[in-house]
Every structure is written in structure tokens, then in C-alpha cells.
Amino acid sequence: MDGRLTMVYWKGERFWLGKLLERPEVMTQGETLEELEENLRDAYLSMAMDDVPENYQTKEITL
């Protein structure tokens, strides 16, 4: 697993809109494609870290 996800995006009336193909519940918008990509990263990390206490630890595992 290399940490890559697929961004699906399109131009709305005012903003670029997008979601993650592998995690369709993660959806956001941005004024530019760069801002959209950053907002998707932030939204994904926020969702992934929901309910994780501040004193968490990490360890890489093999699947």
C-alpha cells in the first residue's frame, strides 16, 4: 500500500468539487485544483483520525 488515492473532480459554477474514489464519503471543494487537492487531504486525514486520542502512536504494517 503506497498511500495513494484517486481524486475524482469537476468544475462547478464557482468551485472545483471533488471526492476520493476509494473513499466516496470524503468530498470537498476548492477555488483552485491545488486548493481542492489540499482540502481533500485534510478531509481524509480528519476522517481517518476521528476518535483517535492525542497520545496515539503509529507503526507501519504489511498487509
Domain parsing of the chain, residue ranges: 7-48
Burial code of 10-45, b = ≥16 C-beta within 10 A, e = fewer? eeeeeebbbbbeeeeebebebeeeeebbebbeebbe
- pLDDT for 56: 92
- pLDDT for 3: 81
Mean pLDDT score across all residues of the chain? 93
Indicate whether 1 pLDDT > 60: no
Q: What is the pTM of this model?
A: 0.78
Can you tell me the mean pLDDT for 4-22? 96
Can you tell me the mean pLDDT for 4-33? 96
- pLDDT for 13: 97
